[in-house]
Amino acid sequence: MSVLNGKKILLGISGGIAAYKTASLVRLFIKAGAHVQVIMTPASKDFVTPLTLSTLSKNPVFSSFYNQDEENEKWNNHVDLALWADLMVIAPATANTLSKMANGTCDNLLLAVYLSAKCPVYFAPAMDLDMYKHPSSLASFNSLQQYGNIIIPAESGELASGLSGEGRMAEPENIVAFLEADLESKLPLKGKKILITAGPTYEAIDPVRFIGNHSSGKMGFDIALSAANLGASVILVSGPTNCKANNSLVQVISVVSAQEMYDVCHQYYAGVDVAIAAAAVADYKPKIVSAQKIKKAADEFTIELEKTKDILASLGANKKNQFLIGFALETENEIENAKIKIQKKNLDLIVLNSLQDEGAGFGIDTNKVTFIDKEFHVEEMELKSKKAVADDILNKVITHFYE
């Protein structure tokens, strides 16, 4: 999955012949999973039509401060557009537009949006080779980079003038690759390995029956995807679940029983930086598993149970430098029981769930948690989506490594 997946990209197009390439660039952004809004200077519409870009981006194209062709003229709010974006890409960026950007000239919608942008701004110069090397162009490049903008270097090749040399706008595929590489290099968990457990475990009674629980696995999968989106390599050990993790940075290892989950966790634990135990592991399993389906005969039936291995406690006992996070699902004396669990299992952080809280628990998309660290600092969170809770958990991981 591309790091651009889910990103909101503003594509600014200025009036150069390279504008014809932006149709391919929009398609590549959409293919990568990004949401795209296009802003054109009036001159750029001589090279590529707004209809083409609107069709490809699946959004209206903006080029003026208000829509003159509408009966009720509507103002296109440059501030709203700027605040919407996760990143802004200006391609092609002509000498004229770059000079205006560098000097704060604001005479069209694209420049107004640029001056209002709070997100990272990338620009891909496109001009003839002498223009590209002119001191005024070089001064624009330098000023814009000093402002924090990021240049996507022009390439060498045949130019519209018939000359050949530097100044050709980077090809759409190379622009996408540049953005992906730059964004990935800045991800806060880049280079970190995280082990995550998710879902229930099933403990066999006979070939068709088992002891299990109602865990859907969604919390663990959301944590895994959030970690991957922050650049981490994830080993996700999951019990039976219908959840999917469509990200190349997430390696899913499917298990069924607590013993299988225990074995896989210990196989990888020594090589990870973080372990997050979000699985709802069965505490007990049948002492004897019948090789054949047990027939319904007597009015009463007794199953002798024995404890499963405590995965989280064993990880805590073998902890070296790992940042270890556990979950606690409690129904009474929640804070006290969670603190005891932190000490007994040598945890750095515990995520406390209470079944007493409305909107928290199994099989739903929301959760309400309380964070307690090993110093017993308690931080109660509001009800949120499980994805938002996952982001909060990963922010704790980031804080551990960088603050």
Average pLDDT, stretch 120-135? 94
pLDDT higher than threshold 70 for residue 282: yes
Q: Using CA atoms, how far apart are residues 82 and 72, in angstroms rounded to an integer?
A: 24
Find the angle CA(167)-CA(168)-CA(174) to the nearest 5 degrees.
120
Crossing angle of helices 386-402 and 218-229, in 10° steps, is 50
The CATH 3.40.50.1950 domain(s) of the chain lie at: 8-185
Q: Which tokens go with 310?
A: 């405590």
CB–CB of 220/236 below 8 Å?
yes
- Summarised one tens digit per residue, pLDDT across range 291-346 is 999 888 888 888 999 999 999 999 999 999 999 999 988 767 889 999 999 999 99
Three-class SS state of 370: strand
Q: Using CA atoms, how far apart are residues 29 and 7, in angstroms rounded to an integer?
A: 9
Q: Which tokens go with 319?
A: 């902890």
> pLDDT-based confidence at 356, cuts 50/70/90?
low
Residue 274 pairs with which residues in a beta bridge? 194, 323
Give phi and psi for 324, each to the nearest 5: -110, 125
pLDDT higher than threshold 70 for residue 69: no
- Summarised one tens digit per residue, pLDDT across range 77-107 is 788 889 999 999 999 999 999 999 999 999 9
- Summarised one tens digit per residue, pLDDT across range 27-45 is 999 999 999 999 999 999 9
pLDDT, residue 8, reads 96
pLDDT higher than threshold 80 for residue 278: yes
Secondary structure element (H or E) that encloses residue 166, with its range: strand 164-168
> pLDDT-based confidence at 367, cuts 50/70/90?
confident
Q: Enumerate the H helices of 32-88 as residue ranges.
A: 50-57, 78-84
Look at the domain 193-402 and name its fold: Rossmann fold (3.40.50)
pLDDT, residue 157, reads 85
The CATH 3.40.50.10300 domain(s) of the chain lie at: 193-402
**Catalytic residue list:** 213
pLDDT higher than threshold 80 for residue 65: no
- Summarised one tens digit per residue, pLDDT across range 2-21 is 889 889 999 999 999 999 99
Encode burial over 134-170: b for 16+ CB neighbours within 10 A, e otherwise: eeebeebbeebeeeebebbebeeeebeeeeebbbbbb
> pLDDT-based confidence at 358, cuts 50/70/90?
low
- Alpha-carbon dihedral of residues 344, 350, 354, 360, nearest 10 degrees? -150
pLDDT, residue 243, reads 93
Side chain identity, residue 350: I
Q: Is the pTM of this model over 0.85?
A: no
Mean of all residue pLDDT scores within the chain = 92
- Summarised one tens digit per residue, pLDDT across range 199-235 is 999 999 999 999 999 889 999 999 999 999 999 999 9
Q: Using CA atoms, how far apart are residues 112 and 65, in angstroms rounded to an integer?
A: 9
pLDDT, residue 272, reads 97
Domain 8-185 indexed as CATH 3.40.50.1950: yes
The length of the chain in residues reads: 403
Residues in Cβ contact with 112 at an 8 Å cutoff, skipping those fewer than 6 apart: 65, 78, 106
Percent of the chain surpassing pLDDT 90: 77
Percent of the chain surpassing pLDDT 70: 95
CB–CB of 262/286 below 8 Å?
no
